[in-house]
């Protein structure tokens, strides 16, 4: 039983970080009706902003984290929207999707070229203290990863449902034309969404890099898992992304422990196929109809 | 008439190919392309191998090159992908390579060494999977002993020093890992030690909670860790978190400086047998470590030494032959021993058998105070 708790808790902790990245997919989908295939690199890059702050500029960690957050919001939020999304907003979805794929390669290769090809250690934000829960060892970092992710989902849901700006953002996502007629500044609302996505990506980056290590290629697997998590949970629901992330994190660990360690990487893909076959809108998602 | 023209065309083409080969050999440079893992999961190993080789090239060129010819070392990044490495070895050969430096990853070497073999180009690899020198390939030469030689050096340590009766093994599921894993299981069987947990993991795996949990539940007296650098660091962090107290023993990577740097203090106390130790008190190794640090402002791991000696081995063997000739170089390296007192670039006295397998003294190391420390020497076998 102790082993079960161990892998369950560890799976929830890892899954919560997948969820943060998955929420980004959902936000961009709701706003720009596109899939951001650079989302994994959006999670990879802020860690390198922080490392550059510490090692190149000689900043203390807290200042480097603030710098990393600010840079992430500017580059991955503001510039992404202005340089890539806006010029392509009048086309159909495919060119924008391809553009995000190109952006993914650009971010990855630029990090390799200008920082390092090797993995870099990233300082832990939380103490490494551990404690026992029914024989399972749980670290403060694991707990805070989970808590931060849950808090973000709750705060984001409340913000979108209970504030004027949040409702305007939802209206923009659902029908930009009508939203504009109603006097909503849709460009500003869309920008807010991208800034929130960049903030979440930076947060996920700061939480996961002490474990995953900071590496230019780490976004590849993370982006794929987060994408699957978003589909499994429901691509149009923030709480769905959370559920998908947690489910994949836990299933991965349980499979490796009780079924097969050798083929654990296949589990998210099998889950994806099953969900697409039997519940294409995702576990918590809702069906969307489109006029053709 | 048509047949005659075809015959003439073929003769002309063959003559041109032969002439270009002679021209390539007669040029003022000797091409030693480095086909290395400069990015991807193997970037740590590949870039160190490459940078060590680059130091040797610079030194040799500054002192007259090989038989008066300067070495030209182009870099080909395999991205740690075996299929890319295969294509790049072909590209390097097409560019007129005298010999190939790399690759370091066993999975890549297993794939690309056949290309070098078919072209008759000698290849100095940093890979350590046992199978590499068991495929009747005359053109492959190691720069570090294969794991079939390294892992058995640990058996007395498990049996006599740790007095382990139950061990666990955590290994990476690639050619490097499989090779070491199979040798380890065979060694433990011979020593009468039972393997109570056999845990494979994927290359690039980030979450080791389940792996460590299985090892912890198995109650092993010691754990054999056979993972690549980054995975080793993640594994060590999880071991520390879950409070596993059994001694951790590795081969090659576990006590490497990169693992120590990445593992945030959790590598402390870990033990490993290494073919080459940058922490060795040997003055020649110390000299190399300082040169590497001065050149790149970072510490080298054992792969840096592998790259360095690869270039020097080619230089010395070529000079013994007296001409730049691939076949003669290949023949000379088989059965050759380069004594460090006479050939200082080798750093340690090194020999190759008729299969290209390497023989050289090796080291037992432990992480102490955040550094790899040599705690014993294992004679050449």
Per-residue pLDDT, B6: 54
Q: CA–CA separation, A2 vs A138, rounded Å? A: 11
- pLDDT of chain B along its 381 residues, tens only? 445 455 555 555 555 444 444 444 556 899 999 999 988 778 888 999 999 999 999 999 999 999 999 999 999 999 889 999 999 999 999 999 999 999 999 999 999 999 999 999 999 999 988 889 999 999 999 999 888 888 888 898 899 989 999 999 999 988 788 888 999 999 999 999 999 999 999 888 888 999 999 999 999 999 999 998 889 999 999 999 898 999 999 988 899 888 999 998 899 999 999 888 888 889 999 999 999 999 999 888 889 999 999 999 999 999 999 999 999 999 999 999 999 999 999 999 999 999 999 999 998 999 999 988 999 888 876
Per-residue pLDDT, B7: 52
Q: Where are the domains of chain B?
A: 29-144+282-359, 149-274
Classify domain B29-144+282-359 at the CATH superfamily level: Response regulator (3.40.50.2300)
Residue A45 has pLDDT above 90, yes or no: yes
Q: What is the DSSP letter of B159?
A: I
Asked if the C-beta of A110 comes within 8 angstroms of chain B's C-beta atoms, the answer is no
Q: Which of B200, B217, B230 sits opposite A119 (nearest CB)?
A: B230
Which chain B residues touch A204 with a CB distance below 8 Å? none
As given in the structure block, the two tokens for residue B285 are 């190794």
Q: Residue B272: CB partners within 8 Å, gap ≥ 6?
A: B249, B250, B251, B252, B253, B254, B255, B256, B364, B365, B366
Least trusted range by pLDDT, from A81-85, A110-114, A134-138, A248-252 = A134-138
Asked if the C-beta of A143 comes within 8 angstroms of chain B's C-beta atoms, the answer is no
ipTM of the shown complex: 0.85
Which chain B residues touch A265 with a CB distance below 8 Å? 202
A215/B230 Cβ within 8 A: yes
Residues B74, B90: contact at Cβ < 8 Å? no
Strands (E), A84-239: 130-133, 136-139
Considering only the top CATH level, what class is B149-274? alpha beta
Nearest C-alpha in B relative to A259: B210
Q: CA–CA separation, B80 vs B126, rounded Å? A: 13
Percent of chain A with pLDDT over 90: 41
Per-residue pLDDT, B211: 93
pLDDT band at A177 (very low <50, low <70, confident <90, very high): confident
CA-based end-to-end distance of chain A: 53
Burial of A174 (0-12, 13-18, 19+ CB in 10 A): exposed
∠ CA A24-A27-A31, nearest 5°, is 140
Per-residue pLDDT, A290: 56
**Which is nearest to B305 in space by CA: B259, B234, B353, B257?**
B257
B209/A7 Cβ within 8 A: yes
Per-residue pLDDT, B20: 46
Q: CA–CA separation, B352 vs A221, rounded Å? A: 40
Residue A84 has pLDDT above 80, yes or no: yes
Which chain B residues touch A210 with a CB distance below 8 Å? 264
Residues A283, A240: contact at Cβ < 8 Å? yes
SS3 of residue B363 by DSSP: strand
């Amino acid at each position: 039983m102790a082993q079960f708790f161990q892998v369950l808790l560890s799976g929830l902790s890892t899954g919560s970080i997948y969820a943060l990245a998955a929420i980004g997919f959902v936000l961009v989908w709701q706003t720009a009706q596109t899939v951001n295939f650079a989302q994994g690199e959006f999670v990879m890059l802020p860690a390198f902003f922080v490392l550059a702050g510490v090692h190149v500029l000689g900043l203390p960690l807290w200042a480097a984290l603030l710098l990393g957050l600010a840079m992430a919001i500017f580059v991955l939020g503001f510039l992404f929207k202005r340089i890539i999304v806006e010029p392509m907003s009048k086309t159909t979805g495919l060119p924008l999707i391809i553009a995000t794929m190109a952006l993914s390669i650009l971010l990855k290769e630029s990090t390799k070229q200008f920082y390092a090809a090797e993995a870099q250690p990233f300082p832990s934000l939380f103490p490494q203290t551990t404690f026992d829960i029914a024989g399972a060892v749980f670290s403060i970092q694991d707990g805070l990863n989970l808590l931060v992710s849950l808090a973000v989902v709750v705060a984001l849901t409340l913000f979108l449902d209970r504030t004027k700006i949040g409702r305007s953002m939802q209206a923009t996502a659902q029908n930009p034309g009508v939203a504009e007629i109603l006097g909503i500044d849709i460009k500003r609302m869309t920008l807010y969404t991208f800034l929130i996505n960049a903030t979440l990506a930076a947060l996920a980056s700061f939480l996961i890099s002490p474990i995953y290590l900071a590496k230019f290629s780490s976004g590849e697997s993370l982006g794929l898992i987060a994408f699957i998590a978003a589909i499994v949970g429901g691509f149009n629901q923030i709480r769905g992304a959370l559920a998908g992330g947690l489910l994949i994190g836990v299933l991965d660990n349980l499979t490796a422990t009780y079924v097969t360690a050798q083929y654990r990487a296949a589990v998210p893909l099998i889950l994806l196929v099953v969900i697409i076959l039997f519940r294409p809108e995702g576990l918590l998602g809702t069906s969307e109809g489109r006029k053709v | 008439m048509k047949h005659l023209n075809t015959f003439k065309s073929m003769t002309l083409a063959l003559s041109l190919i032969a002439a270009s080969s002679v021209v390539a050999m007669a040029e003022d440079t000797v091409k030693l392309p480095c086909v290395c893992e400069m990015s991807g999961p193997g970037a740590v190993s590949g870039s160190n191998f490459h940078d060590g080789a680059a130091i040797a090239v610079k030194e040799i060129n500054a002192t007259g090159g090989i038989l008066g010819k300067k070495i030209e070392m182009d870099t080909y990044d395999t991205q740690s992908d075996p299929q890319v490495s295969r294509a790049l070895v072909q590209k390097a050969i097409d560019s007129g390579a005298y010999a190939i430096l790399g690759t370091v990853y066993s999975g890549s070497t297993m794939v690309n060494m056949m290309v070098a073999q078919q072209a008759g180009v000698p290849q100095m690899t940093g890979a350590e999977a046992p199978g590499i020198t068991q495929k009747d390939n005359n053109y492959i030469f190691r720069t570090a002993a294969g794991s079939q030689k390294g892992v058995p050096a640990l058996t007395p340590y498990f049996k006599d020093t740790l007095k382990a009766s139950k061990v666990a093994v955590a290994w990476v599921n690639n050619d490097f890992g499989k090779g070491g894993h199979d040798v380890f299981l065979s060694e433990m069987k011979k020593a009468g030690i039972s393997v109570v947990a056999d845990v494979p993991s994927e290359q690039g795996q980030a979450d080791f909670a389940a792996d460590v949990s299985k090892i912890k539940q198995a109650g092993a007296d010691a754990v054999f860790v056979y993972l690549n650098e980054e995975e080793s660091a993640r594994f060590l962090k999880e071991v520390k978190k879950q409070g596993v107290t059994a001694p951790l023993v590795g081969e090659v990577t576990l006590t490497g400086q990169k693992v120590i740097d990445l593992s945030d203090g959790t590598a402390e106390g870990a033990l490993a047998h290494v073919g080459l130790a940058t922490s060795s008190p040997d003055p020649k190794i110390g000299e190399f470590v300082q040169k590497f640090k001065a050149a790149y402002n970072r510490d080298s791991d054992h792969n840096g030494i592998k790259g360095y000696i690869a270039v020097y081995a080619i230089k010395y063997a070529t000079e013994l032959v007296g001409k730049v000739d691939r076949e003669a170089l290949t023949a000379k390296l088989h059965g050759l021993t380069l004594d460090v007192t006479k050939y200082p670039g080798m750093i340690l006295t090194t020999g190759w058998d008729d299969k290209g397998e390497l023989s050289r003294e090796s080291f037992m190391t432990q992480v102490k105070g955040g550094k790899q420390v040599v705690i014993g020497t294992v004679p050449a076998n």
